[in-house]
Structure 1
Amino acid sequence: MTPGAAPRYALDRGALRRRLAAGEVTFGTFVGAATPITAEVCAAAGVDWVLLDLEHGAGGEEQARDVVPAAASYGVPTVVRVESTERIRAGRLLDVGAAGVMFPRVDTTDEAAACVRHLRYPPAGDRGVATYNRMCGYGLDPGALDRSDGDVLGVVQIETLPALEAVEQIAAVDGVDVLFVGPRDLSHALEVPGQLRAPVYLAALDRVLEAAKAHGKAVGLLVPDGAAAARLAAAGWQFLAIGSDTTLLANAVVAELRRAGQTP
């Protein structure tokens, strides 16, 4: 392959961000086991994206190095949930080819704006600049620096009471592409822990959805199964995570054991 030709695995180059901006519904799953094999299995199964979870998952930043190309070998982009909103966390993951970053525990508009700055190079942001990484084809694609600001997907979680109260203002921040509800966190914050049919929780979901619609942003949620994802997609939710690699596997094993006659 000649220098500058297409890489052996294709990075996202903004495709997921453009799909969401165009109003498309996308389905993915969380990768909690943090292994390239499970990411590859999910990609082979046909998800639109995988989300490597560094907040609650089993791995750390080093797993992104292998998860990104494993999923990308099937043309599937990797979004990464960072463990903190510290500037360097997002930059390191984007350098290894993440298509976007999910920021947890964002409470205010100022915090959301700071997160977006971590995704952008100066002068628009404060991301560190380097070309000897995967995103720039290890120096063979320096033009990736010019494309990156428009390619990277910014996902902000709405999972606390302060975030819910500021959701309309957070949705208005340029570069916040997706408002993503953490269902368990938000239900706990609303004092209905795990009660995902509670009226106060459902009202909160409606508020997040309306805020996203008002500002032309996508909205996302973690759901347990495909049936729930279908219902939310019909209601306007675009960035839907159907379980995780570990929960899907565990539930599949339990279901087959029950079919085999084993009772809990």
Structure 2
Amino acid sequence: MTHNPYALDRGDLRRRLARGDVTYGTFLGAATPVTAEVCAAAGVDWVLLDLEHGAGGEEQARDVIAAAASYSVPTVVRVESTERIRAGRLLDLGAAGVMFPRVNTADEAAACVRHLRYPPAGDRGVATYNRMCRYGLDPAALDRSDGDVLGVVQIETLPALDAVEDIAALDGVDVLFVGPRDLSHALDVPGQTQAPVYVAALDRVLAAAKGNGKAAGQLVSDGAAAARLAAAGWQFLAIGSDTTLLAGAVVAELRKAGGTP
């Protein structure tokens, strides 16, 4: 039987970003394999399963990752906490990368990166009877994994912004990701994405990423905003989420029909 190569990303997303490609994805707030498959079928480069604010938990990751992979689309997972075991479990399930929220310092970011790597470079637990190793059929995946996994650190607090250059310099931090709501609230301009202090913060994040050969990412509401950021040098762009895109589409069609949502 021929092995289906869609099953695991094997570092392709990380390599694409490293060579400067712009990639587009969407958040999965509903945390269901159906919405993961729908978004993957629609043509995104990646999906991001959100365990911090989304409706699901780790138990959804097994089916969500496989559903997106059926269209050769990798899944990145935002963990609910930076605890070591959280990242390891998701990587064992075949996640292409992990996004760490609420990171404040370079030391915290370095600890997160260690969770993505096996000893001696890190502290990830070692096992082969999992999806990443094809349930024991591909034990050599252990040797490849450290170079395959995408590490995404969020810059969403004032301490993180102050330390962004040091965070970007860390080996294993591949993407600096800005959540507009968190960062704008931290800067005391909640939701004001055109405020000078917020725009200056974005410029600083992008410069830190580019200065260290890393990618920068943001969450945006629509494709037009994503296009503007891509032109400015941002590479890891999330266009809304499964739930917000669905809600927006329903509202738009109701208005066309004469409804009053």
Instruction: Please indicate the TM-score interval, normalised by the length of the shorter structure.
Output: over 0.9
- Please tell me whether residue 125 in structure 1 is matched to residue 122 in structure 2: yes
- Please tell me whether residue 102 in structure 1 is matched to residue 99 in structure 2: yes
- Please tell me whether residue 43 in structure 1 is matched to residue 40 in structure 2: yes
5+ residue gaps, structure 2: none
Deviation at 1:8, TM superposition (A): 6.8
RMSD: 0.8
CA contact (8 A) 1:9 1:69 kept: no
Write the distance in 1 (CA, Å) between the matches of 2:7 and 2:91. Answer: 14
Count of aligned pairs between the two proteins: 261
Write the distance in 1 (CA, Å) between the matches of 2:3 and 2:151. Answer: 25
Write the distance in 1 (CA, Å) between the matches of 2:167 and 2:14. Answer: 18
Q: Percent identity?
A: 87
Deviation at 1:6, TM superposition (A): 2.1
Instruction: Tell me what 2:189 maps to.
Output: 192
| CA deviation vs aligned residue, 1:159-205 (integer Å, no higher than 9, x gap) | 00000000000000000000000110000000001111111101100
Q: 2:235 aligns with which of 235, 238, 261?
A: 238
CA contact (8 A) 1:7 1:137 kept: no
Amino acid at match of 1:158: I
Amino acid at match of 1:181: V
> What is the SS of the residue equivalent to 1:180?
strand
Q: 2:8 aligns with which of 8, 11, 21?
A: 11
Amino acid at match of 1:83: E
5+ residue gaps, structure 1: none
Write the distance in 2 (CA, Å) between the matches of 1:75 and 1:161. Answer: 37
Q: Structure 1 length normalisation: TM-score?
A: 0.98
Which contiguous aligned blocks of 4+ residues in structure 1 show a shift greater than 4 angstroms? none
> What is the SS of the residue equivalent to 1:230?
helix
Once the two structures are superposed, the pairs formed by residues 64-143 of structure 1 within 5 Å of their partners are 64-143=61-140
Instruction: Tell me what 2:223 maps to.
Output: 226
Amino acid at match of 1:222: L
Amino acid at match of 1:180: F
> What is the SS of the residue equivalent to 2:71?
coil
Q: 2:252 aligns with which of 242, 252, 255?
A: 255
Write the distance in 2 (CA, Å) between the matches of 1:233 and 1:90. Answer: 28
Deviation at 1:117, TM superposition (A): 0.2
- Please tell me whether residue 163 in structure 1 is matched to residue 177 in structure 2: no
> What is the SS of the residue equivalent to 2:44?
coil
- Please tell me whether residue 205 in structure 1 is matched to residue 202 in structure 2: yes
Q: Structure 2 length normalisation: TM-score?
A: 0.99
- Please tell me whether residue 58 in structure 1 is matched to residue 58 in structure 2: no
Write the distance in 2 (CA, Å) between the matches of 1:149 and 1:233. Answer: 28
